[in-house]
Amino acid sequence: MTRSKSGLLGGAITVFGLCLLGCGQQPDADLGGHPYADATAEDAGASPPVDDGGGSYPADGQVLDPIQDPIVTGDGCAPATACPAGFSCGHYADPCSGHIFVCGEPCEGGTVCVADPNDPSSQTCQTKACAGHCGVVGLDGCGVAIACGGCPTGEDCVGTQCVPAGPPLSGDAGTCGALSCTPDPQTHLCGTVTDGCGHSMACSCAAGETCSGGVCGALAPECSTPDGGVRCSSAPNACGSANVTCGTCPGGQCVQGMCTTCAAPSCGKLTCGKVENACGESVTCGTCDSGTCYEGECCSPLTCADVKDGGPLDCTPVNLGCGVSKSCAPCAADEVCTDHVCTPYVCTPKTCDDFDNAGCGHADGCGKTLSCCAKGTTCQGSLCCGAGEVAYAGSCCLPSCDPNQPPGAQESCGQVILCAPGQKGPPR
């Protein structure tokens, strides 16, 4: 079969994605120069290419190896109840029970969650070291590809190294694999799928499944809570390297990011108004021919004439019953009732100095909002971001094209952008 370099190397990522799900640990091999593409349409059982020394998780002076599950011998396997002390980020797969724990806090920008080079039994946030490497160099502690970008024009990324571009590698005679998101009944690929001959297609997972290493799998551990609850919102994963989408709530509804099963709303003894449950479902309990509905019953409040003789003549609000309170001697529009007396209304608005000249959406105390971004930045949600940047996962992010991905639609910073062949950086 004749395959391109990307096709040969692409098969390795599918293999490692499958092993990641089946073995509960990160792959212990170089993922080579495959682009951001998560999977390939080549035979899912193909052998990975020979490692040319690129290694996984490159670092200055040494290679960061993936975490390995500890070896358990005999019958004394005790299930873990939490992450090991050395795991400060990412996932930990308990070799005894198979349960996956969410550990520590997500890594900040510029760092990746991998094995600590000074303590292989730990998993910590390490600086992403891409010097001398290209393409996908491994998976982090959450099964997300660690990418180091592409190569200059005229070079190809082979085995995480930039080499002079050359003709496709040749093997046994044959044709390119057919594009498919399901190479077999048990496997559903996700991300960008390539056939090794320059063609590609996009694959996605079913609601509630997680894309890890190019393969759809079970619900991510970030989607469960310690008390057994299930989340239904999107949030950064435990490594800070991607967002986890937790899907829908079968048999329930998503309420404030959590799956909730709600009893149908009931009026009970109420005769008017509307009753709503925690899931947003409501039922109307009737209307009032006169008066107002107060605490589920029809009620007629008093009027100022009813309380004039015994009520205050100043601007102080009067309780008229049925939840109604108002002044019977209201102040003018430009006045405010202070200590029972109408006085001119004066509002001194806050300024950006009160907010350290930073941030967006500040209330000035007089009905307006303030944007306190520095020169050259604008508000993106609650953040001040530079030109072209968008707010994404709690920080500013510049949508950029990845030359390692197929041209056309690419996802960056949570947005879909259109990229030309080989384009790198912001879309034109």
H or E stretch including 380?
strand 377-380
Determine the pLDDT at residue 89: 94
Task: Tell me the C-alpha distance between 200 and 209, whole Å.
Answer: 22
Q: Look at residue 56 and tell me whether its pLDDT is greater than 60.
A: no
What is the reported pLDDT for 381? 80
> pLDDT tens digits, residue range 115-171?
988 898 899 999 988 888 887 788 888 878 788 877 888 887 777 788 887 665 544
Report the C-alpha gap between 403 and 387 in whole angstroms.
Answer: 22
Q: Decide if 107 contacts 240 (C-beta within 8 A).
A: yes
31-40, 55-64, 257-266, 345-354: least confidently modelled range = 55-64
Give residue 18's pLDDT: 33
Q: Output the CA torsion 381→223→209→42 (10° steps).
A: 80
The mean pLDDT of the chain is: 74
**Cα separation of 60 and 396, whole Å?**
28
Query: Among 379, 382, 346, which Cα is nearest to 365's?
Result: 346
Residue 121 DSSP SS3: strand
Q: Count of H helices and E strands in the chain?
A: 2, 35
Contact between residue 190 and residue 203 where contact means Cβ atoms under 8 Å apart = yes
pLDDT tens, residue by residue, 83-108: 999 999 999 988 888 888 899 999 98
What 3-state DSSP class applies to 16?
helix
In terms of phi and psi (left: phi > 0; alpha: psi -120 to 50; beta: otherwise), the region of 305 is alpha
User: What six digits make up the tokens of 107?
Assistant: 């890594």
pLDDT digits (tens, 9 = 90+) for 289-341: 888 899 989 998 888 888 766 556 688 888 888 888 888 888 888 888 888 88
Other C-beta atoms lying within 10 Å of the C-beta of residue 19: 17
Rounded Cα–Cα distance for residues 310 and 1 (Å):
99
Most confident of 17-21, 95-99, 232-236: 95-99
Q: How far apart are CA 37 and CA 21, in angstroms?
A: 18
Q: Of how many residues is the chain composed?
A: 428
What b/e readout covers 118-151, taking b as 16+ CB neighbours within 10 angstroms? Answer: eeeeebbbbebbbeebbbbbbbbbbbbbbbbbbb
Contact 248, 241 (CB under 8 A): no
- In three-state secondary structure terms, 198 is coil
Of 51-65, 76-90, 310-324, 387-401, the least confident: 51-65
pLDDT at res. 75 = 59
Closest to 191 (Cα-Cα) out of 410, 32, 33: 410
Q: What is the DSSP string of 342-373?
A: EEE-------GGGGTT--S-EE-SSS-EE--P
With 0-12 / 13-18 / 19 or more C-beta atoms within 10 angstroms meaning exposed / middle / buried, residue 269 is exposed
92: CB partners within 8 A, 6+ apart: 67, 80, 83, 84, 100, 101, 103, 123
The pLDDT of residue 166: 67
Q: Residue 67 — very low, low, confident or very high, per pLDDT cuts 50/70/90?
A: very low
